[in-house]
């Protein structure tokens, strides 16, 4: 498996489906969308879940026959984990989808979601809002993770509510605001991510254990969008690489060219491969397009 990817728009190894709590499109739709976009190599890497990757592989052949175009599809997952109290995402590629390890990871997250969602509602309303469970359920109903109210779900509910049209907190996320390019996920990063006022901690597996699980399932472990998780502490990467990482997602929609080049060179110095992924979600990140960074 050669993943030493540079600037090719025909490759996207970080795509989220409706099996992610913040993804929009079904796996079958994404396979077709990738073919239409000219992508020849794709991976659906849902949060803590392999159901989307499995479904994409199941329908790929049928879609190829219908379109007359072939596409390669890696089985993948994106797993939340921690190392020294810092949250990270690790991508697993070419994994065995039939084992129980990834099902255990999904169930661990599911068990914590209800409590975390309720606590997040309390914290967000502490900013001066009056959101209800009904309003949040209206934007998550029918989803695979229905009942899990993510930071993005809060943003969607708040921005759709007629009661907060003039709210100063939401102003940057509305059209013309400086955070309006990807308003839902930007609200998440600004208010609900680690270290922010509405952050709700969950117990995720240790990064070292996640790397081991991926390897035990015949996969390759790749650190996802490190520029955003490491923030201003890039030197911490020197602690992570010896833990068994196989690659780094240097080319990401979160990385400007200078950042991408820094991670590319870091990977090269440590003989790690480099991957490329848009982190496409659909409506949650409307400025991110399949295959484009």
The model carries a pTM of 0.91
Whether residue 260 has pLDDT greater than 70: yes
Whether residue 239 has pLDDT greater than 60: yes
What confidence tens digit (pLDDT) does each residue in 205-229 have? Answer: 999 999 999 999 999 999 999 999 9
- Ranges assigned E (strand) in 57-212: 72-83, 86-93
What confidence tens digit (pLDDT) does each residue in 31-72 have? Answer: 999 999 999 999 999 999 999 999 999 999 999 999 999 999
Sequence-distant (≥ 6) Cβ neighbours of residue 32 within 8 angstroms: 63, 67
The reported pLDDT for the residue numbered 53 is 98
The reported pLDDT for the residue numbered 2 is 47
Sequence-distant (≥ 6) Cβ neighbours of residue 239 within 8 angstroms: 83, 84
Buried b / exposed e over 274-283, threshold 16 CB at 10 Å, is bbbbbbbbbe
pLDDT band at 4; cut points 50, 70, 90: low
Whether residue 75 has pLDDT greater than 70: yes
- Ranges assigned E (strand) in the chain: 11-15, 41-44, 72-83, 86-93, 220-223, 247-252, 273-277
The reported pLDDT for the residue numbered 7 is 54
Neighbours of 36 (CB within 10 A): 11
Return the C-alpha torsion angle 262, 268, 273, 274, nearest 10.
20
The reported pLDDT for the residue numbered 9 is 74
Residue-range domains of the chain with CATH: 11-101+207-277 (3.20.20.140), 107-192 (no CATH)
Provide, for the chain, the percentages of residues in helix, strand and coil under a 3-state DSSP scheme, each rounded to the nearest 5.
40, 15, 40
**Rounded mean pLDDT of 16-28?**
96
């Amino acid at each position: 498996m050669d993943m030493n990817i540079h600037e090719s728009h025909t490759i996207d190894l970080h795509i989220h489906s409706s099996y992610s709590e913040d993804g929009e499109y079904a796996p079958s739709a994404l396979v077709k969308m990738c073919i239409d976009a000219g992508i020849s190599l794709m991976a659906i890497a849902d949060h803590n879940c392999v159901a989307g990757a499995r479904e994409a592989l199941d329908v790929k052949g049928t879609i190829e026959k219908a379109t007359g175009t072939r596409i390669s599809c890696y089985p993948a997952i994106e797993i939340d984990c921690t190392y020294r109290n810092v949250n990270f995402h690790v991508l697993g590629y070419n994994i065995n989808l039939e084992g129980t390890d990834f099902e255990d990871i999904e169930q661990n997250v599911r068990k914590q979601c209800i409590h975390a969602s309720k606590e997040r509602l309390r914290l967000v309303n502490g900013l001066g809002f009056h959101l209800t469970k009904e309003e949040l359920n209206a934007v998550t109903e029918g989803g695979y993770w229905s009942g899990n109210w993510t930071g993005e779900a809060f943003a969607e509910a708040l921005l759709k509510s007629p009661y907060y049209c003039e709210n100063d907190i939401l102003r940057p996320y509305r059209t013309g605001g400086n955070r309006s390019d990807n308003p839902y996920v930007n609200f998440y990063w600004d208010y609900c991510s680690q270290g922010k006022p509405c952050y709700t901690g969950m117990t995720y597996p240790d990064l070292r254990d996640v790397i081991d699980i991926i390897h035990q399932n015949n996969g390759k472990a790749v650190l996802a969008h490190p520029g955003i998780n490491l923030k201003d502490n890039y030197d911490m990467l020197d602690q992570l690489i010896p833990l068994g990482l196989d690659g780094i997602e240097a080319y990401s929609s979160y990385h400007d060219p200078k950042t991408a080049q820094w991670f590319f060179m870091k990977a090269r110095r440590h003989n790690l491969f480099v991957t490329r992924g848009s982190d496409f979600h659909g409506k949650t990140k409307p400025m991110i397009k399949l295959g484009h960074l």
